[in-house]
């Protein structure tokens, strides 16, 4: 296969995507309204990026309880569904395809988002992180452990949110099983100290994830359901003492019992020297275990994305920061054109600046296109 396979179409679920470049999910904290619904700016931002083979939305909280950061757009209320409908209309008009990332922050939250109550988790262990609140960064609040019955309520929230996403026009959903949020809070034994059927063995710790997937799939179909995992990330977690066995179990079960539209695996960007139990190269280690469509993410540039797809180690590559700064990333990559630099100051919160004002190639003027 040619080294340009990245720019060829690929089948994901029942859809034929125009290329193998995805926009990775990115929280941008711009739902500046009571309803926490997408606004006009979201429409512009996402439709500018419709040349991606697939856009994965920012993490959208599945319930008020699932919120952990200021002004994140949700997918649990009628106002939010209406807001997303407009986004999807614009994205589809430009022939874009877009999934909704279903998010529950769990303990990575603050009492100010929980009507003064405690955020929920698998246990009462504090995330020991920072929460981006209306008063700036504040330490994450002490969570309380969900009761066994309440776990079912959260699963029902995911199910309803998945249905809302399809009603809003999304082409599919992605369960956020990465980066230390609620799913990982059940998976990882550094956090989960439960004694019910959601704690203890690997099988028990993974039960929440699989029951959640079952509910979402029942609602929207397996061909519209995807999953994001970050087996070796240390974000908001100390991960798991038997990490490789845990994630191998998950991936083997996905092979045996599920036919997801795709699985996205995130590479660790942190130094893992003090964590020898974690796989350093996630795709290299776990990729061979997985039988379905794989998307890889984390630290890719044009050259590494071209080669990982040409070598058939993954079907797709997702880009976060590069897509944030380059609305026309596929075209820039195809032409090997220069890239805009992402501005970290405008990643979270604010308005159009650093959101919808990154220039397209033609706006950037005559470009020097490099050979190769």
Ligand X SMILES: Cc1cc2nc3c(=O)[nH]c(=O)nc-3n(C[C@H](O)[C@H](O)[C@H](O)COP(=O)(O)O)c2cc1C
Chain residues in the site for ligand X (CB under 6 A): 24-27, 58-59, 101, 176, 178-179, 228, 266, 297-300, 319-322, 347
Report in angstroms how near the CB of residue 251 gets to ligand X at its nearest: 18
Report in angstroms how near the CB of residue 96 gets to ligand X at its nearest: 18
Report in angstroms how near the CB of residue 321 gets to ligand X at its nearest: 4
Task: Report the residue number, 5 or 176, with the smaller CB distance to ligand X.
Answer: 176
Distances (CA, A) of 281 to 126, 244, 250, 267, 314: 28, 12, 17, 7, 13
Burial class (CB in 10 A: 0-12, 13-18, 19+), 156: middle
SS3 state at 57: strand
Task: Report the residue number, 110 or 194, with the smaller CB distance to ligand X.
Answer: 110
Catalytic residue among 181, 247, 286, 300: 181
Task: Report the residue number, 25 or 172, with the smaller CB distance to ligand X.
Answer: 25
Q: What's the CA gap between 103 and 185, in Å, rounded?
A: 13
Distances (CA, A) of 250 to 132, 205, 244, 295, 363: 31, 10, 10, 16, 46
How many CB atoms lie under 10 A from the CB of residue 341?
11
Report in angstroms how near the CB of residue 201 gets to ligand X at its nearest: 27
Give the containing element (helix H, strand E) for 319. Answer: strand 316-319
Q: What's the CA gap between 228 and 178, in Å, rounded?
A: 6
Report in angstroms how near the CB of residue 18 gets to ligand X at its nearest: 20
Q: What's the CA gap between 130 and 27, in Å, rounded?
A: 15
Report in angstroms how near the CB of residue 196 gets to ligand X at its nearest: 27
Backbone angles phi, psi at 74, to 5 degrees: -100, 180
Report in angstroms how near the CB of residue 244 gets to ligand X at its nearest: 20
Task: Report the residue number, 59 or 199, with the smaller CB distance to ligand X.
Answer: 59
Distances (CA, A) of 162 to 101, 110, 201, 212, 218: 9, 25, 28, 11, 10
Distances (CA, A) of 349 to 39, 72, 148, 326: 13, 9, 36, 18
Could you confirm whether 181 is annotated as catalytic? yes
How many CB atoms lie under 10 A from the CB of residue 344?
10
Task: Report the residue number, 249 or 348, with the smaller CB distance to ligand X.
Answer: 348
Backbone angles phi, psi at 194, to 5 degrees: -70, 155
Task: Report the residue number, 78 or 299, with the smaller CB distance to ligand X.
Answer: 299
Task: Report the residue number, 145 or 183, with the smaller CB distance to ligand X.
Answer: 183
The two structure tokens encoding residue 220:
């929207």
**Would you please indicate which residues are annotated as catalytic (active-site) residues?**
181
């Amino acid at each position: 296969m040619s080294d340009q396979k990245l720019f060829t179409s690929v089948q994901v679920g029942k859809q034929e995507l125009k290329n193998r470049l995805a926009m990775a999910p990115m929280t941008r904290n711009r739902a500046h309204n009571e309803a926490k619904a997408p606004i006009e700016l979201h429409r512009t931002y996402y439709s500018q990026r419709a040349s991606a083979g697939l856009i994965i939305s920012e993490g959208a909280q599945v319930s008020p309880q699932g919120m952990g950061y200021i002004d994140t757009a949700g997918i649990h209320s009628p106002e939010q569904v209406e807001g997303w409908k407009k986004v999807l209309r614009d994205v589809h008009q430009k022939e874009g395809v877009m999934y909704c990332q279903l998010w529950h922050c769990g303990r990575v939250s603050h009492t100010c988002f929980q009507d003064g109550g405690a955020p929920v988790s698998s246990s009462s262990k504090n995330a020991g992180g920072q929460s981006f609140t209306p008063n700036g960064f504040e330490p994450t609040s002490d969570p309380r452990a969900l009761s066994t019955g309440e776990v079912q309520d959260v699963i029902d929230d995911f199910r309803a949110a998945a249905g809302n996403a399809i009603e809003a026009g999304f082409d599919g959903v992605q369960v956020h099983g990465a980066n230390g949020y609620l799913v990982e809070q059940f998976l990882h034994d550094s956090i989960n100290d439960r004694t019910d059927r959601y704690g203890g063995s690997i099988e028990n710790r993974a039960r929440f994830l699989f029951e959640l997937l079952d509910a979402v799939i029942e609602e929207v179909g397996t061909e519209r359901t995807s999953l994001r995992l970050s087996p070796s990330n240390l974000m908001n977690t100390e991960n798991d003492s038997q990490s490789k066995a845990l994630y191998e179990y998950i991936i083997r079960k996905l092979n045996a019992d599920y036919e997801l539209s795709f699985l996205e695996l995130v590479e660790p960007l942190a130094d893992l020297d003090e964590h020898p139990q974690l796989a350093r190269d996630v795709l290299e280690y776990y990729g061979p275990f997985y039988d379905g469509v794989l998307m890889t993410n984390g630290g890719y540039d044009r050259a590494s994305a071209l080669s990982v797809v040409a070598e058939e180690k993954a079907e797709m590559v997702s880009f976060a920061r590069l897509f944030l700064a380059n609305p026309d990333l596929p075209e820039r990559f195809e032409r090997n054109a220069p890239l805009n630099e992402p501005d970290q100051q405008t990643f979270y919160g604010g308005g159009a600046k650093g959101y919808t004002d990154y220039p397209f190639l033609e706006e950037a003027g005559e470009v020097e296109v490099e050979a190769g």
